[in-house]
Structure 1
Amino acid sequence: MEIIQIASIAILLKWFLLGIAIILGLVVVHFYMKVTFENELRKKVFELISNSVFLGFIVWKGSLLLLEPTVVIKSPLSLLYFTGGSNGLLIAIIFSITNFLVKAKTFNHSSLQVWKSGILFIFVVLSGYHILAIFFLENNLLYHLLNAVGTIILLLFGYYRKYLFSLKGIFTIIIIFSFYRMILSFALLEHGGNQFLMFTFEQWFFVGAILISIFYWDRKK
């Protein structure tokens, strides 16, 4: 696997690319809100998104204790140098999204704007990561290409068809995106023994996203 060296720390290239994509997402969301949000709301929403990202990073690092407890017990400093990997990242994403959703409810009449900002951030991060992966990672190039193209097309489709202008439309986009990611995963990735009841942890994550979106799809509140 591709590894880069930053000072005394070795980091997988894919995580470095993800970090760049997250920074890109924050920059894009900042400029989007600068144009469309009032100053006070912009500060609060950007703080919510950035705090959720930071929480995710902490959970990602700490997930090593849950996923590889023997490693941490033998070497507590491993929490500084290692993460929970792909499964730990999904746990971190779940915590980040949960934090975002709980806090978003406090915005009341502006909650739709908060949701739009969150969706924009997620889609920019995902498309940015997969575009970078096409150029810098050697494996699964078709998977990354289709993810990047599909994510961008779905975001533009949601905007021009005004799906992003209602919570019902946003949940529709999430459902379509989740199905798309699962199809690509089944068709293009080799999972080996990393499965539980026929699905990987990532696929179960998208199953959960679909079920939750269906549950809230036509709710008034």
Structure 2
Amino acid sequence: MQVIMIGPIMLKYSLIMAIIAASTGYLVILFRTRHLDTRLRKAVLDDLMVALLIGILIWRLSPFVFNAKAMMHSPKSLLYYTGGTSGILLAALAAVLIIAYKCVKQHKPWTVYANTGLTWLISAYGIWDLLRIFLDDGGYPAVGTAIVAAAVVVYQFRHRERIFSSYLLVCTVMWSAIGLFAVSLVDESVEALWLGLGGMQLILLFMAIMALIMKVILEKKESQCT
């Protein structure tokens, strides 16, 4: 991955790609939520943006958590290093907890936040892999991921009136997991962990199965109510 030097600061193309992906994803949810009540829409978009910014800050500072000794010895190294996968997971956890707290404390509709946030995540992920095709030799897996992301976003737009529905959330997770799992099968870089499947493949398979079970449960509840 190439880098751009601005004085002592090294900017990776991956960072620029992430900014483009996140910005494009935000534009997607702007359209995704335009039918909502103005006050609710503003609250959802503002809260998600705050959660993202705090998540980014935690990700950038996470080396102090996972490699505190090295950071204390050379604080300037923070300009060049990030928290990696562990930092991303910590940032994601913090963002989810922030949104969950707001929903519980202020009695906000969590399904709207979840559906909107998921749309942002999926669309940004699709744009990220689309950029990888041209800038980072993404190959067939990147093409497949971009197609899956586009299909899922279209699915959510077609059911935008169900943004308050947990059923839509479950279906989105299920189809996303199934699609990404299928794409991962053509990725030759995946290292087998169990039953010939890689770690991420096992996670996606688990998510798809759990979402399918939840989908069946919700459908049964809906049929009983009618």
How large is the Cα RMSD of the aligned pairs? 3.3
Q: Structure 1, unaligned stretches of length 5 or more?
A: none
Q: Sort the Cα spacing of 1:79 and 1:145 in 2 relative to 1 into closer, same or farther, 3 A.
A: same
Q: Paired residue for 1:17? A: 17
Q: Paired residue for 1:55? A: 54
Q: Paired residue for 2:113? A: 114
Q: Deviations over 1:150-208 (max 9, x none)?
A: 11112223443679542122112113312433443354152569x799754x5576577
Q: Give aligned pairs, total.
A: 216
For 1:45, the aligned partner's letter is V
Q: Paired residue for 1:151? A: 149
Looking at structure 1, the residues matched to 7 and 212 of structure 2 have their Cα atoms a distance apart, in angstroms, of 46
Q: Sort the Cα spacing of 1:182 and 1:63 in 2 relative to 1 into closer, same or farther, 3 A.
A: farther
SS in 1 for 2:11: strand
Looking at structure 2, the residues matched to 119 and 136 of structure 1 have their Cα atoms a distance apart, in angstroms, of 25
Q: Sort the Cα spacing of 1:177 and 1:62 in 2 relative to 1 into closer, same or farther, 3 A.
A: same
Q: CA deviation at 1:14?
A: 1.7
Q: Paired residue for 1:76? A: 75
Looking at structure 2, the residues matched to 70 and 196 of structure 1 have their Cα atoms a distance apart, in angstroms, of 35
Q: Paired residue for 2:169? A: 170
Looking at structure 2, the residues matched to 11 and 122 of structure 1 have their Cα atoms a distance apart, in angstroms, of 23
Looking at structure 1, the residues matched to 102 and 208 of structure 2 have their Cα atoms a distance apart, in angstroms, of 21
For 1:24, the aligned partner's letter is T
Q: Map residues 13-52 of structure 1 onto 2, 5 A cutoff.
A: 13-33=13-33, 35-52=34-51
SS in 2 for 1:10: strand
Q: CA deviation at 1:82?
A: 1.8
Q: Map residues 83-94 of structure 1 onto 2, 5 A cutoff.
A: 83-94=82-93
Q: Sort the Cα spacing of 1:141 and 1:63 in 2 relative to 1 into closer, same or farther, 3 A.
A: same
Structure 2 residue 140 is the aligned partner of structure 1 residue 142: yes
Looking at structure 2, the residues matched to 185 and 136 of structure 1 have their Cα atoms a distance apart, in angstroms, of 20
Identical-pair percentage: 18
Looking at structure 2, the residues matched to 37 and 69 of structure 1 have their Cα atoms a distance apart, in angstroms, of 44
Q: Deviations over 1:79-103 (max 9, x none)?
A: 2432112442233223323322342
Q: Deviations over 1:60-118 (max 9, x none)?
A: 11222344344323312222432112442233223323322342345646433333321
Looking at structure 2, the residues matched to 181 and 120 of structure 1 have their Cα atoms a distance apart, in angstroms, of 15
Q: Structure 2, unaligned stretches of length 5 or more?
A: 222-226
Q: Sort the Cα spacing of 1:90 and 1:16 in 2 relative to 1 into closer, same or farther, 3 A.
A: farther
TM-score (norm 1): 0.77
Q: Sort the Cα spacing of 1:187 and 1:99 in 2 relative to 1 into closer, same or farther, 3 A.
A: farther
Looking at structure 2, the residues matched to 196 and 78 of structure 1 have their Cα atoms a distance apart, in angstroms, of 37
Say if 1:17 and 1:129, in contact at 8 Å, map to a contact too.
yes
Q: Sort the Cα spacing of 1:134 and 1:112 in 2 relative to 1 into closer, same or farther, 3 A.
A: same
